[in-house]
Amino acid sequence: MKLIAATGNAHKLAEFETITKDFGFELFPKSAVGLGDYDPEESGETFAENSLAKAKAICEKCGFPSIADDSGIVVDALGGAPGVRSARYAGVHGNDRANNAKLLAELADTPVERRTGRFCAVVTIVWPKDTPESGYPFFASRTDDGYPYIQGTGFVEGHIGFEEVGSNGFGYDSVFIPLGFTETFGILPAETKNAISHRANALLAIRSQLLRA
């Protein structure tokens, strides 16, 4: 299946490609269809809303099936923040260093047993609305204006460390220690992260749906 990836994040695209290498997907960056500078608005209140909006916006622009995710970190002691605002938590979209610094500052007086949280990802595939029924799963939902889509959700539980550790990955990887490990995603090998991550679990949920089709 040929899919246009709605992300402009090279790290995220690389993870998509690695995780889906055996899925039968052929992924292309949005720049391949002339949309490299186009960033769909993320105005939803949930990961699912934002993921769908991004995939649909790219699909609508280019006319090809598109895949997008929206993801972030949810911290229990902060009432679920940063949540859907993870990428712009400190005010500037994609400033990982500032976002991590703000998160650590807000948790400065929080003991380890209360630093629990999770990464969450929702992945969406959207097909053009004129796609024949044989071209998408029979159980696909439709947007109000007729675009077929499916979604998969994934989580990875863990807790927030007391400082940034490691340079692997991106986003909040250097402060997140997944359950069952003692090192952050910033230290753990990419192979380990891609086997247990929220994005991997969301993509596996997508794959399991496609296998039903």
Please state which of the four CATH numbers 3.90.950.10, 3.30.70.1710, 3.40.630.30, 1.10.3720.10 is assigned to the domain occupying 2-212.
Answer: 3.90.950.10
Q: pTM to 2 decimals? A: 0.95
| pLDDT at residue 93, rounded to an integer | 87
Q: Which of 37, 69, 70, 144 is catalytic?
A: 70
155 against 41, higher pLDDT: 155
* pLDDT classification of 41: cutoffs 50, 70, 90: confident
Q: Tens digit of pLDDT for each residue in 132-168?
A: 999 999 999 999 999 999 999 999 999 999 999 999 9
Active site residue 39: no
Domain layout of the chain by residue ranges: 2-212
- Confidence class for position 213, pLDDT limits 50, 70, 90: confident
Please choose, from the candidates 193, 186, 184, 182, the residue with its C-alpha nearest in 3D space to the C-alpha of residue 167: 186
The helix (run of H) or strand (run of E) holding residue 117 is strand 116-126
